[in-house]
Structure 1
């Protein structure tokens, strides 16, 4: 109640552990159904690079489900999962070991602006940018970490640009989660832009362009998510 009275926000790490597990369980089926067979192939030339061996960052990886899926599908590439929530990184490492992908997938506890490593051919963000206090600053840091010709794959909840476009069952679910978890998490961080889970393609494009990306396009959509390709 105090979070909503003050508008100060609630840090992601202050939630019960079931929130992190539940978030993974909510999104993972969509990743399993779409990531390897539909989303990555929709990006220009990315699958070919991954097959040959690329350096990939998965930022805001949570329990690592997306990272583990990609590492298993593309053993010639190396993957680093980053998240600022230490308990989630512990779980991600366990999942990688269980899936036998620890050889090409590692995980580190770091916020996006703290990442010093660069030269990434692909940077992925799955349902995470809207949770960040400074999404423009985060996207700007990602742009700088990309190798020449590198790609940002931004996966966000599927939403229309106008409120009326989102007045359906799935939209109600995303708005509810955004109100209770995503927006307070953003408010608890620097800037506190409170982008929200239903920002829409137009607003997300504005964020990426402000961060310095000159090529932004909607690559593909599933029933629940939109996949945006961005290049410097």
Structure 2
């Protein structure tokens, strides 16, 4: 085969960029865990010596780290003064753990994927699954922290109001189930916003449920929030006014059973809120950076867990609205619609 040198050079350049990003993820994680970004936030231009003192770290390491950040465009380097500055925009992404675009925890998910590489290799070769609970511990904390801020920024202010009549019920006093609740950030956010309502979080991963209980205690809502270890097809039916699935239905090997159980567990005029990764219905609709993240995570986590359940479906994180609608139709729901979308999520509503 004759090589097109221009195309070859372009692709090599692309791959070098990928390696740069891979190395940079480790640096971003270090900056987050060592408090380096937070020490730079609002400080203006600082030298490596100043940052070392602020963060209680060794200067020579800090200096090299700062140069890596400048090369990445994560901080601004001022050559005349040999100082480094974290801009307000950079701080919003790297140093503000209340920001809806605080992204550094997401690198813990990447770290877990590397740590679980042997499991992924075995899964590819055998076709077997990998259960969610069998992954590296950094996966659970990384996913919880990454999604927490996205939910904090949009769940109460945008997503719930987009549903038909749901906020009025919540304000008056409703019963809500959060299925696949993980660390319970979504459950706690709703409980804080709607003090007249009661909330139940269900998840099959015991350690996540234990973490959720601690988070509810710390938030002061444990009197109105109950977390239980239970799967999506067997949690207690309590005539819920709202049942939520946050970024989890596509992980399930039996999503129709999960949707059917939700239908049985709903009050007469209840609603299901389904939050799923943003995706089009066709592969070509998802050929973009966000799609790449979701397909990659889906390969080692979402599909792997669904396969481990030996069920009926392996939807994957890029299932798209049509496949999800089919699941709810088969479960007996008569109404299914897209309430809204963001660059990262589809917010869907199902009613019996």
TM-score category (smaller protein)? over 0.9
2:207 is equivalent to residue 66 of structure 1: no
Gap runs ≥5 in structure 2: 1-120
8 Å contact kept, 2:177–2:201:
yes
- Cα displacement (A) at 1:190: 3.5
2:169 is equivalent to residue 37 of structure 1: no
2:272 is equivalent to residue 145 of structure 1: no
8 Å contact kept, 1:7–1:184:
no
Query: Hey, what does 2:351 align to over in structure 1?
Result: 231
Structure 1 CA distance for aligned equivalents of residues 184 and 122 of structure 2: 31
Length-normalised TM-score, structure 2: 0.65
Structure 2 CA distance for aligned equivalents of residues 207 and 192 of structure 1: 11
Runs of 4+ more than 2 Å apart: none
Name which structure has the greater RCO, CA cutoff 8 Å, separation 6+.
Answer: 1
- Cα displacement (A) at 1:117: 2.5
Q: Which moved more, 1:62-71 or 1:24-33?
A: 24-33
Deviations 1:70-91 (Å, cap 9, x if unpaired)? 0000010000000000000000
Counterpart of 1:19 (choices 118, 123, 139) is: 139
C-alpha RMSD over aligned residues: 0.8
Alignment of 1:1-232 (within 5 A): 1-232=121-352
Structure 2 CA distance for aligned equivalents of residues 195 and 214 of structure 1: 21
User: Which of the two has greater helix per residue?
Assistant: 2
Deviations 1:129-158 (Å, cap 9, x if unpaired)? 000110011101111100101000000001
Structure 2 CA distance for aligned equivalents of residues 144 and 131 of structure 1: 21
Structure 1 CA distance for aligned equivalents of residues 269 and 220 of structure 2: 30
8 Å contact kept, 1:133–1:192:
yes
8 Å contact kept, 1:64–1:95:
yes
Structure 2 CA distance for aligned equivalents of residues 73 and 231 of structure 1: 23
Structure 1 CA distance for aligned equivalents of residues 284 and 154 of structure 2: 27
Q: Which moved more, 1:116-125 or 1:90-99?
A: 116-125
8 Å contact kept, 2:250–2:315:
yes
User: Which of the two has greater strand per residue?
Assistant: 1
Length-normalised TM-score, structure 1: 0.98
Structure 2 CA distance for aligned equivalents of residues 29 and 226 of structure 1: 16
Q: Which moved more, 1:18-27 or 1:91-100?
A: 18-27
Q: Which moved more, 1:121-130 or 1:187-196?
A: 187-196
